[in-house]
Structure 1
Amino acid sequence: MTSHFLLGIDTGGTYTDAVLFSETAGVVAKAKALTTRHDLAVGISGAVEQVLQKADVPASAISLVSLSTTLATNALVEGQGGRAGLVMIGFGPEDLKRDGLQDALGSDPVIFLPGGHNVHGGETPLDMTALEEALPILAEQVSSFAIAGYFAVRNPAHEQRVRDRIREVSHLPVTCSHELSSKLGGPRRALTTLLNARLVSMIDRLIGSCEGFLKSRGIDVPMMVVRGDGALISAEEARLRPIETILSGPAASLVGARHLTGLDNAVVSDIGGTTTDVAVLDRGRPRLDAEGAVVGGFRTMVEAVAMRTYGLGGDSEVRINDRGLKAKIDLGPRRLMPLSLAAALHGEAVLSVLEKQLRAQHAGRNNGRLAVRTGLPDHLASGLQPQEQALYERIGASPISLENLLTSTPQRATLDRLVARGLVHICGLTPSDAMHVLGRQSQWCSEAARLGIELAARTRDGSGQPIAASAEAMAEMIVDRVTRQSSEVILQACLGEDGAGAIDPAVSQAVDRALRRAPGIVRFSLGLDRPLVGLGASAPVYYPAIADMLGTDAAIPNEADVANAVGAVVGQVRASVTVFVTMPEEGIFIVNGAGVSERFLDQDRAFSAARRRAETMALETARTSGADEPVSMLREEIDAPEVEGNRKLVEARFIAQASGRPRIAHG
């Protein structure tokens, strides 16, 4: 009999990682392939085929596949995602001003319908006239719908009726707010639902790509996806609730960091191509964000690790501010395709542009910048404005320099919109290119990296001098900036966890003196109280210097480059269900949540029904999410103050948590 192997896959913004894991031997083999955004299956198959080959194991030996991804997080950080229609039931236009909902909505359409419920589940009649009128046209303009009803967590009937009607007419994916959170706070629940709807097609493509590849290799086993709190859910559930996969990659990396280092207390920092994610391990468990995960500036209702995500990574845009007497370098938050990678993929088309720009007498504003299509299918480019369409048609599958592409200033904003839609990559100078010049990375085209760095070194500062004497000096300046900016974001995250978030390390003079170890009569120093675990493919080249700057030890596990994929396979399935009991009038008890409303005349019977309902639903949800033999725990929170000698029930909450390892295929 062949032993069981678990396959962990992590699809990041730049790389797709795969690990083959055995519960007895740990990581048996690992591999990486470039993430292919136009067809994710190419990157997935590249990594998986390599890992099977390295381990010399047949595909039939795999008994579980588990996937973690930063695609949802990156999409929200970069402002990408499909166009969604928002339906608000029982809310008015003024509610859009709360919780950042208006900003998140942008130019996406919104419909307000009379209806909704009260805190005890009683309804205001639903009127769907406005929806019926708008639906035929809207269905052509959006890729999904989001529905948020007033107090829908207490009674979801109106959301369900609207959902069924939209599906019937449009056949598009629809997300209801009650499916994502049991917390009150309509506008924030609407925001979470809107973001979920935008991500549906992206996560559906990812899971579909993965399933398609596995099927072609005859791997017919359960497939799991990592949730933002580090727990696992079945692929089917992730398709319905992709918002739960925001921070999936970082959560998996925390679970992986704990498994690989054995450390119970640590600061974990994971540097990827697009982002740096920082979180704290406390007594062996990731700290969770009680308020809900913040991604791309929006606070959602998704329970996720208390992970702070910053737009800083190996592929961050290098921005040179040459206005002062001394030029300053800043990184991010936008991700570019590194010049070294662009040349590895497109060769002469990139090199010839850079060589020509270097030969020119005067530096152009857009030197070292090119644009190329990402390769997304044509139907995802629907709904472009005429000027966007015209510019998009001029950008091909081979990179074109921005100096040839942009003929007027307004076109810059048009190009930015195409990038935000995920249709176009900007190729330009990044820390990855600097690492190629310094010989610390070598997987792509070092020649293009050097040309790009030489172009940047020619930039003149306010005193008219070139900002660096050589390509190497320029590359060192960029890498020093990575060390400093990374130290600042790690400090910012840790200060936030300590409740001292008002201190901004990027502007604090005291922090600046401590990090530079500036000499003086007063000497400042700072340090972390626990080791810094560095994760990510480039962790060994960046993190020793960062840990040194932060006055702590660096812990960089051997499998730092695939920690997410390891975390994807060693996690647990967890489900949490909350059932509420309220008393609208003396002697009447209403049970709401995890099913239809029930009415009781006796508090004890209402509480027993709520406990039973919460436990049953938590176990059922855990099984639906892919758990094998889940076990449950129940917690009760009863809010019943004494008023004039009588206890008066305001609300009782029964919270059941069920957890277990995922089901595996027994070959």
Structure 2
Amino acid sequence: MHHTGQAPLLLGIDTGGTYTDAVLFSETSGLVAKAKALTTRHDLSQGISEAVDAVLARAGADGSRIGLVSMSTTLATNALVEGQGGRAGLVMVGFTEADLKQDGLQAALGGDPVLFLAGGHDVHGNEMPLDLAPLDSWLDAVAPALTGVAVCAYFAVRNPSHEVTVKEAIRTRTGLPVTASHELSARLGGPRRALTTLLNARLIALVDRLIEATTGFLHRRGITAPLMVVRGDGALIAADLARARPIETILSGPAASLVGARHLTGLDDAIVSDIGGTTTDIALLAGGRPRLHPDGATVGGWRTMVEAVAMRTFGLGGDSEVGLEDDILGPRLRLGPRRLVPLSLAETLHPDSVVPELERQLEALHAGRLDGRFAFLTGLPERFAAGLTEVEERLFRRLSKTPLPLDRLFISAAEGATLMRLVSRGLAQVCGFTPSDAAHVMGRQASWDSRAARLGAALFARKRDGRGMPLAASAEEISERVLACLTRRSAEAILETALAEDGLESAVSPEHPLLQRALGGHQGVARLSVSLDRPVVGLGASARLHYAGLKRFFSSECVLPEHLDVANAIGAVAGQVRVTVEAHVTKPAEGLFRVSAGAEIRDFPDEEKALLCAEELAGRLAAGGAAEAGAENAALTVHRVLKTADVDGERIFVEAIVRAVAAGRPRIAGSD
């Protein structure tokens, strides 16, 4: 596929759990080329470079033709889920140690240092004395071991002056990156705002390395276009801002999939289900935009103040572990939530390492408990193995970069738990039979080695149920059951999401006998069925395979758009820059109306003048923020939310929130 026009090309990149996707896109002619490369978890920039090189080669395009690069990344999300990140200090201004007990802040802080300073403001922005005296000695003691610092002051969203003062003092003395809480959220709730700011400070070094590596690679390919990153709400942000506010990129990938679904289908309202190798992410499009979580995104167990898509994630994908429910005479297949490296992929990456061992195991008279399971190193640098216990260290040293069968690797059964600890540290991977292998057995996928897939399926089929009978008569039979199981579990996950959206999550689950009967199509005197109020959009490289049978579970349409395999990468370049700024108007005293917007505080004797000032300030800040985030010719909308009370027939002003939104497409190099 060759591009011969002269319009700038847009490069979209998405790093998923298994694949990194890249697309070249034209605003006039649509998708030009697409390519995939395996995600390199130990160094995401390596997978990105392979995918970008491949898509440029397929398009026959020169790097200088690229006018915009936009990427969605799993790095921030994975780091929070896996407890990774730098060591950050936290400075709390106007708070006490008791505040650490709220919103999980103490647990999130762990062993990182915290300093309490006197100061802060009240709800109207009135100042309390700031005491900086303890700051210098604290920084001298802790700064050498930190990668960033978070600053949160009491009621900083009403007046951020103390955060600004403390931030500048820390930067001047240490040169460390510093995040102030008012830069991330305008919402009240100091401890949760402090938690969000702390997590952001930990992520800065990680995301900075990714962006630096990506920028360096792009420049080496002659690509000098602006680099954007997808935020968790689906909007785009300039890479330099993403470096400073990496917390905003959590759930970046799922958000990009929703933007891609909207672009590919034109649907304003839909349930979007994106199946990958590791997880299935399900969320709603409402009115043409991703529905956001009203309370902020939760990642890694932490409830943040980051605006992000209201996403439900299930441990269900093409690379899900295939297992059996315990203690059931008529065994039921279990999928996930753990991800395994498919046998077919492992053999492709390491030829003649998996197939001979599977053949050996299949020749044995009896099935072994560890049949079809392998382990190998992920490729992380040696320094990441620091702190292993003696038992973990011994197993780690026996592993290699080539898959080793567990029945020969393990010295004792207890080493299974040890291996899982190495996996949780990101040092090792487990390989086994997955739905991706089942698809290769049935000839529905052909990306990797089908011999390994068939042998793994045959080994799994001869496992015994509670009655001592083999699970299936052939590799084909068990593979067909695994694929059917994945489609059924997908339907249950979509239904669970719909029920939660209707507020029924705690009242009923898809496991309820009536819902199971409806999904299964069982007919009786009472005939039950399930339908949805909007179509399901299936995304992901394997969606066409696994979602083709979804319609029989719901009386609803299932849309499988063209290019569904790279929807996230398309969403990365199809999105808009969107910046929202809130100004607040309060009434500290009779005849006094106070406007607070960003770092500005203004007083007026008249309500309407205060509201007009709030609109002007919020609009200016939103427009400036959109330009800084990379937008060109952003459109501005402003609206008021008034809170008043009626006391004995008299209108009483309580508070007003003025919200300004600036939105527009990012600047594209080389466009007219």
> Could you tell me the TM-score, scaled by structure 1's length?
0.91
CA contact (8 A) 1:135 1:166 kept: no
Q: Helix, strand or coil for the counterpart of 1:267?
A: strand
CA contact 1:634–1:656 (8 Å) conserved in 2? yes
CA distances 1:398-455 after superposition (whole Å, capped 9, x unpaired): 3344455555677555544443343332223321122112211111122222233233
Mean CA deviation greater in 276-285 or 155-164: 155-164
Secondary structure of the structure 1 residue equivalent to 2:358:
helix
- For residues 54 and 201 of structure 2, the distance between their equivalents in structure 1, rounded to whole angstroms, comes to 34
Q: Equivalences for 1:229-628 in 2 at 5 Å?
A: 229-360=233-364, 363-381=367-385, 391-403=395-407, 407=411, 412-628=416-632
Identity of aligned residues (%): 54
Structure 1 gaps, min length 5: none
RMSD of aligned C-alpha atoms?
Answer: 2.9
Distance 2:321 2:70 in 1: 32
Question: Which residue is 1:38 aligned to?
Answer: 42
The answer to which of 156-165 and 293-302 deviates more is 156-165
Q: Output one character per residue of 1:157-181: Cα deviation in whole Å (capped at 9) or x when no partner.
A: 4444554565567655443322221
**Code of the aligned partner of 2:573:** V
Q: Give the Cα separation in 1 of the matches to 2:364 and 2:177.
A: 52
Q: What secondary structure does 1:574 align onto?
A: strand
SS at match of 1:309: strand
- 2:185 pairs, out of 173, 181, 189, with 181
CA contact (8 A) 1:322 1:462 kept: no
Residue by residue over 1:31-67, the C-alpha shift from the partner in whole angstroms, topping out at 9 and shown as x without a partner, is 1111122332332222222222222222222111111
Amino acid at match of 2:569: A
Q: Aligned-pair distance for 1:640?
A: 2.9
Relative distance call for 1:521 and 1:104 in structure 2 (3 A) is farther
Secondary structure of the corresponding residue to residue 583 of structure 1: strand
CA distance in 2, matches of 1:391, 1:159: 48
| Deviation for aligned residue 1:276 | 1.1
Task: Report the AA paired with residue 90 of structure 2.
Answer: V
- Cα distance in 2, alignment partners of residues 237 and 450 from structure 1: 48
User: SS where residue 622 of structure 1 aligns?
Assistant: helix
SS in 2 for 1:372: strand
Residue 124 of structure 2 aligns to which amino acid in structure 1?
H
Give the aligned partner of residue 123 of structure 1.
Answer: 128
d(CA) in 2 for partners of 1:386 and 1:178? Answer: 45
- Range with greater deviation from structure 2 (624-633 or 144-153): 144-153
Q: Is the deviation greater in 595-604 or in 62-71? A: 595-604
* Counterpart contact for 2:160–2:598, Cα < 8 Å: no
- Cα deviation, residue 383, structure 1: 5.5
Gaps of 5+ in 2: none
Do the aligned partners of residues 161 and 397 (structure 1) sit closer, same or farther apart at CA in structure 2, a change above 3 Å counting?
farther
Alignment match, 2:655: 651
Q: Is the 8 A contact 2:463 2:471 kept in 1?
A: yes
Q: Which residue of 1 aligns with 2:67?
A: 63
Which amino acid in the other structure matches residue 442 of structure 1? A
Work out the CA distance in 1 between the residues paired with 2:40 and 2:157: 39
In the alignment, the residues of structure 1 paired with residue 138 and residue 390 of structure 2 have an alpha-carbon distance, to the nearest angstrom, of: 27
Question: Residues 189 and 401 (structure 1 numbering): CA distance in 2 closer, same or farther, change over 3 Å?
Answer: farther
Aligned residues: 664
Which of 593-602 and 316-325 deviates more? 593-602
Closer, same or farther: CA 311–110 of 1 in aligned 2, 3 Å = farther
Once residues 526 and 615 of structure 1 are traced to their aligned partners in structure 2, the CA distance between those partners, rounded to angstroms, is 46
Rounded Cα–Cα distance in structure 2 between residues aligned with 1:146 and 1:364: 52
> Deviation at 1:388?
5.0
Task: Indicate if the aligned counterparts of 1:533 and 1:554 stay in contact, CA closer than 8 A.
Answer: yes
1:25 equivalent in alignment to 2:23 = no
Structure 1, residues 199-231: CA drift from partner, whole Å, max 9, x if none? 434433332232122100111111111112221
| Aligned AA (2:85) | G
Q: Tell me, in whole angstroms, the C-alpha distance in 2 between the residues paired with 1:609 and 1:380.
A: 53
Q: TM-score, normalised by structure 2?
A: 0.90
Distance 2:45 2:349 in 1: 18
Quickly say closer, same or farther: Cα 1:472–1:649, change in 2 above 3 A: same
Of stretches 408-417 and 22-31 in structure 1, the one that deviates more from structure 2 is: 408-417
**Structure 1: distance between partners of 2:395 and 2:151:** 34
CA distance 1:412–1:583, shift in 2 (3 Å): farther
After superposition, the Cα gap between the structure-2 partners of 1:343 and 1:145, relative to the gap in structure 1 and judged at 3 Å, is farther
Please state how far the C-alpha of 1:575 moved relative to its aligned partner. 0.4
**Cα distance 1:165–1:465, how it changes in 2: closer, same or farther (>3 A)?**
farther
Superposed CA deviations along residues 210-259 of structure 1, whole A, max 9, x for unmatched, are 21221001111111111122211111111222222222222222222222
State how far apart, in whole Å, the 1-side matches of 2:415 and 2:48 are. Answer: 35
Change (3 A) 1:274 1:191: farther
One-letter code aligned to 2:252: S
The question of whether the paired residues in 1 share the 8 Å contact of 2:25 and 2:33 is answered with: yes
> What is the distance in 2 between the residues matched to 1:165 and 1:144?
14
